[in-house]
Amino acid sequence: MLFNSLDFFLFLLVVFIVYWTLPNVYRKVWLISASIFFYGFWSIGFLFHFLGILAFNYLFYYFAHGSYTKAKVSFLVIVNLFNLAIFKYLIFFETILNDLGFSIQVAYPLKDFVLPLAISFYTFQIIAFHIDCYRGELKEKVSPEDFFFFILFFPQLIAGPIIRWAELKRQIDRNKLPHADLLRTGSVLIFFGLLKKVVIGDQLGTLIDPVFQSPEKYNQAAILLSAYGFAVQIYSDFSGYSDIARGLAILLGFNIPRNFDTPYFATTLQEFWQRWHITLSRWLRDYLYIPLGGNRSGKINTYINLLLTMLLGGLWHGANYNFLIWGGLHGLFLAIERPFVRTFQKYSKFWQLGIRSLIIFHFVCITWIFFRSSSLRDAIVFFEGFTRNVGSNLSNNSLAGWLIFGAIALHILERNYRKLNFLTQKFWLLPAFGIALFALFPSTVNNVMTFIYFQF
């Protein structure tokens, strides 16, 4: 059930009306039930698998509460990562071993299964919960209803943001009253999320997907537009999802973290990762980079820790060489730029910031090619296309250009997001824009495209 589908609209309408009709004491159970239905709509089998994982983790927490040890939390981390690995990484590990010269064929029944929805996200959220317990950050006993709500809450379930218990605990049982500000603010976020996803991301996807599937068939202009186009598409798609998720949560009286903050204006790669997929970046920092030693063990170890963190961050995104290369390049660049970050901060004139932003943006665009390509061979062929004068153009070069230009304009507007507040004062504009959106892009109703990060 996708956020941009008719099924979800009808689901949300029922959830919203019933939620605000019920007394506060019953709302949590209603949202847990709705979230279970939301996940089960995709797969009943994997719903039982998911609920089993939640039940196991809660039962362990219940009996270990107040007595977490390093051995216990290590066991929980291993179990949850094993659950992730058995679905996501076994085939890749087999590929690596075969590429190293070992002739291995692993026979296991999960080989032909699709990846369970949201498994990468809920695994990280559960692990963070247990580690916070071990660190003594969760003093009070968490009820089973609160724990299940914390993981299952449907606006953030499928692709984040990756929430921490401390960010949600005081909101769960708080008595909430419906008011116009919730409707206005939530609707604005949902509208802009759909605008980015449906109008920009999906339309660009239909133009550039054929190029990434067969890069050898396309000329230099198509390759260049596709490289820029995917940078715009993945941002529009993922930040659009996050905006919708935040908007849905606000409609129900909850605030969840912002996941994007105009990352393509970053002037260093470190700043980019403080603005892109913010909740994953802080997870990697707090539960991987710092435990590895962070910057406390000298410069060389700091660079190694950065590289390892980003390599594992790349592997989290997907099980193939391209994601490792993508993560490795980011880690390497973070290590190289680290000694110069403070020096860069001394040069803050507008043109100097602009040049640095362009450098970081183009580095990110280059690495996105590995992220998007189906294989290392396809990525290499794509890079070769930058010098290819023969081949096909995109099906519509001008539309691609206008969509990229529109995304840049929207990015600038997001940078000055306070200017968007006029929409919350002129609420009548939202339905007018919504009607215009679906009138201009009727194909979005009939051809619902999934979100890119659903595959992770």
CA distance 315 to 61: 28
The amino acid occupying position 318 is G
Name the catalytic one among 130, 317, 330, 411: 317
Task: Determine contact, residues 34/149, Cβ cutoff 8 Å.
Answer: no
Respond yes or no: is residue 317 known to be catalytic. yes
Rounded to 5°, the CA angle 20-25-28 comes to 70
For residue 114, report the phi and psi dihedrals to the nearest 5 degrees: -75, 165
DSSP SS3 for 218: strand
For residue 218, report the phi and psi dihedrals to the nearest 5 degrees: -120, 155
Task: Determine contact, residues 159/454, Cβ cutoff 8 Å.
Answer: yes
Task: Determine contact, residues 272/364, Cβ cutoff 8 Å.
Answer: yes
Enter the DSSP assignment of 450.
P
Print the SS3 string covering 255-319: CCCCCCCCHHHCCCHHHHHHHCCHHHHHHHHHHHHHHHCCCCCCHHHHHHHHHHHHHHHHHHHCC
CA distance 256 to 243: 10
Residues that are catalytic: 317
